[in-house]
Amino acid sequence: MNNQLPIADLFVRYLENNCTADEVRQLLKYFDSGENEEVLRALIQAELGFTDQSKETTKRTEAAIAKVRSIILQEIRGNQEQEPQYTKPAKSFIMNTWLKACAALLIFGCSALVYWHIGQKAYQKQQLKQAVTQPGKRKLLQLFDGTKIWLCPSSSLQYPDQLTGNYREVKLEGEAFFEVAKDKVHPFIIHSGRMQTQVVGTSFNIQAYKKQDKLSVTVVTGIVKVTGTTASGSSPAQVMLKPNQRALFNPKTGSLTGENYPDAQQMLKRKDGILTYNGTPIQKVIADFRLFYNLPIELENNATGCLCYGEFNTNRPVNIVLEQLAAAIIGKVIFEKDRYILKGGCDER
């Protein structure tokens, strides 16, 4: 076994569905030994953060185990056929291995449901501080672990000033860019209404304003796990994101999708107030300008079909940036009755 991975690393690879067939057999054989049962239990607790032993948690766990039992037995039988050196009676082998391997498959197949309830309960017990940004204002925060958070206008963040459990957890309403300090032992979790984002150490942007039809998570570096659930609390959906990908979550329906997003690097500038657009509908651009400047900006009907290309630095005076926007769509901007109006543009004949 000189070239084999440590069992903890192998266990994580199994949960991420990255194990080879030989590694799966190695893992099952390791946990078939009664003396290694405590190791398995410790790994499971580390992955799920089991601090809650309530009847509700036990009930959900048992239901999840029953749900995946047929899958577990199928995998064990498959491994049994490939490993003729096993001499234990078939029934004993299946039952013993099932009891130990069940928890591992439980995590892989049903961890989202279990963690959702446990994580929410543990998070609610923390003593949190709060940072709030007013319309048109931004703020940079640094947490106790070195994590940096750029909070966008009209946003709020609840966060702890010290580690209080197995996870580093915050609550976001609005938009923020996260540069999470790496800590494999204590994953970082962002609660945004019915959406949760979990990472170890990475950088990404979350847009989760209450009035948004769809919340989004855009990954710049690292790997991010996004989980979303419906108002009824039914089984949540889950996606894994890599760099230059994003997730879109509809909080009303609970639908969660992942997609490639080549413009993810733009989020590095957005956190500093520099907005970049590559064929973005003008309505979205105007909405961003209203958010970052906290000023009434209107759009004439004949400009609503425009697509915008360009980079705009909202640290500059609004009149200069709006003139730049007007030039980008071949229109003009006027100031009238304490408001800015963007006239003409690409649809004008």
The position carrying tokens 């009930």 is 59
The position carrying tokens 């990908």 is 245
Q: Are residues 84 and 141 in the same domain?
A: no
The confidence score (pLDDT) of residue 55 equals: 53
Query: Would you say residue 1 lies in a domain?
Result: no
Beta pairing partners, 191: 171, 196
Q: Hey, what are 61's tokens?
A: 């766990």
Domain boundary residue among 102, 124, 146?
124
The confidence score (pLDDT) of residue 8 equals: 63
The confidence score (pLDDT) of residue 132 equals: 96
Q: Are residues 192 and 283 in the same domain?
A: no
Q: Hey, what are 220's tokens?
A: 């710049």
Domain limits at 60?
A: 7-124
pLDDT per residue of the chain (349 residues) written in tens, 0 to 9: 445 556 666 666 665 556 677 777 776 666 555 555 555 555 554 444 444 445 554 554 444 444 444 444 455 455 555 544 444 444 444 444 444 444 444 444 444 444 444 455 554 555 789 999 999 999 999 999 999 999 999 999 999 988 878 889 999 999 999 999 999 899 999 999 889 999 988 999 999 998 888 999 999 999 999 998 877 666 688 999 999 999 999 988 889 999 999 999 999 999 999 999 999 998 899 999 999 999 999 888 767 778 889 999 999 999 999 999 999 888 889 998 889 998 877 754 4
Q: Report how far residue 245's alpha carbon sits from residue 189's, in angstroms, rounded to the nearest whole number.
A: 18
Q: Are residues 56 and 136 in the same domain?
A: no
The position carrying tokens 């690097």 is 265
Q: Are residues 307 and 224 in the same domain?
A: no
Query: Would you say residue 349 lies in a domain?
Result: no
Judge residue 210's burial from the number of C-beta atoms within 10 Å of its C-beta, 0-12 exposed, 13-18 middle, 19 or more buried.
exposed
Q: Are residues 257 and 136 in the same domain?
A: yes
Domain boundary residue among 221, 239, 266?
266
Q: Are residues 164 and 290 in the same domain?
A: no
Among 204, 209, 179, residue whose Cα is nearest residue 192 = 209
Q: Domain total for the chain?
A: 3
Contact 249, 190 (CB under 8 A): no
Query: Would you say residue 308 lies in a domain?
Result: yes
Q: Are residues 251 and 156 in the same domain?
A: yes
Using a cut of 0.85, tell me whether the model's pTM lies above it.
no
Judge residue 86's burial from the number of C-beta atoms within 10 Å of its C-beta, 0-12 exposed, 13-18 middle, 19 or more buried.
middle
- 3-state DSSP helix/strand/coil % of the chain, to nearest 5: 40, 30, 35
Per-residue pLDDT tens for 166-183?
889 999 999 999 999 999
